[in-house]
């Protein structure tokens, strides 16, 4: 097994988990592996733990600066929760999914800087977007993946799964929930 990122034990742990699950599948255990990519929607933690979307919405609604690390050009794929649930359901119920690994995601690539601007606009905030170096926020040894965009072809081909909710619509739904939950 190739080491993916020796500095990040979380990535290594996930890879090992998948390896063991697939090994058990070869011994007869029905297994399907799903990988989620930045799932978001109503009920996100407003403190933003684990979610750049929740953090940006909260900062924008409070009129605080939106904190973007590095230059903001690092990219991710954001998947609305309804699509995450649908993809998970299909993976768990379609026989052709057994023994497979699926990226359950919206394949759209979005930069963190673009996400900050979009959320600021949708909230109607005049918050400043500030750029903070990784070293300042996380220390000298922090490593960030510049581009994390999933290949969703297997989920499309074997499960018929395709994310349906565009980022702009999903963000609007999420922001509306934040307004109701945290007036």
Average pLDDT over residues 54-62: 97
Give the separation between CA 130 and CA 40, rounded to whole angstroms.
Answer: 23
Is 167:175 a contact under the CB 8 Å cutoff? no
Average pLDDT of every residue of the chain: 93
What burial letters (b/e) apply to 2-25, b meaning 16+ CB within 10 Å? eeeeeeeeeeeeeeeeeeeeeeeb
The rounded distance, in Å, linking the Cα atoms of 66 and 58 is 9
Helix pair angle (167-181, 112-123), 10° resolution: 50
Percent of the chain with pLDDT over 70: 96
Provide the pLDDT confidence category of residue 67 given band limits of 50, 70 and 90. Answer: very high
pLDDT confidence of residue 6: 57
Is 75:146 a contact under the CB 8 Å cutoff?
yes
> With contact defined as beta carbons under 8 Å apart, do 147 and 75 qualify?
yes
Backbone φ, ψ for residue 103 (5° rounding): -85, 110
- Per-residue pLDDT band for 46 (boundaries 50, 70, 90) equals confident
Beta-carbon count within 10 A of 138 CB: 13
Of 115, 17, 18, 26, give the one whose Cα is nearest residue 66: 115
SS3 percent helix, strand, coil of the chain, rounded to 5, is 45, 15, 40
User: Mean pLDDT across the stretch 75-88?
Assistant: 98
Question: Are β-strands 66-69 and 75-76 bridged in parallel, bridged antiparallel, or unpaired?
Answer: unpaired
pLDDT tens figures, 132-165 = 998 888 888 877 888 999 999 999 999 999 999 9
Beta-sheet pairing, 39-40 with 79-80: parallel
Q: Model confidence over 119-131: pLDDT tens digits?
A: 999 999 999 999 9
The pTM of this model reads 0.90
Q: Is the pLDDT of residue 12 over 80?
A: yes
| pLDDT at residue 1 in the model | 44
**Spatial distance between the Cα atoms of 3 and 171, rounded to a whole number of angstroms:** 35
Domains of the chain as residue ranges with CATH: 9-181 (3.40.50.720)
Among the residue ranges 16-25, 45-54, 125-134, the one predicted with the least confidence is 45-54
């Amino acid at each position: 097994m190739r080491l993916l990122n020796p500095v990040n034990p979380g990535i290594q742990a996930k890879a090992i988990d998948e390896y063991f699950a697939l090994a058990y599948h070869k011994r007869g255990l029905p297994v399907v592996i799903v990988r989620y990519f930045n799932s978001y929607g109503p009920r996100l933690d407003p403190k933003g733990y684990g979610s750049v979307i929740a953090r940006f919405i909260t900062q924008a609604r409070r009129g605080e600066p939106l904190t973007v690390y590095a230059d903001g050009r690092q990219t991710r794929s954001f998947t609305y929760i309804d699509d995450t649930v649908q993809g998970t359901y299909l993976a768990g119920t379609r026989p052709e999914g057994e023994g497979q690994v699926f990226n359950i995601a919206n394949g759209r690539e979005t930069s963190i800087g673009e996400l900050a601007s979009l959320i600021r606009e949708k909230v109607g905030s005049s918050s400043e977007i500030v750029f903070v170096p990784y070293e300042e926020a996380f220390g000298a040894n922090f490593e960030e993946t510049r581009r994390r965009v999933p290949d969703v072809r297997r989920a499309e081909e074997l499960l018929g799964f395709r994310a349906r909710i565009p980022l702009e619509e999903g963000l609007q739904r999420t922001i509306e929930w934040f307004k109701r939950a945290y007036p």
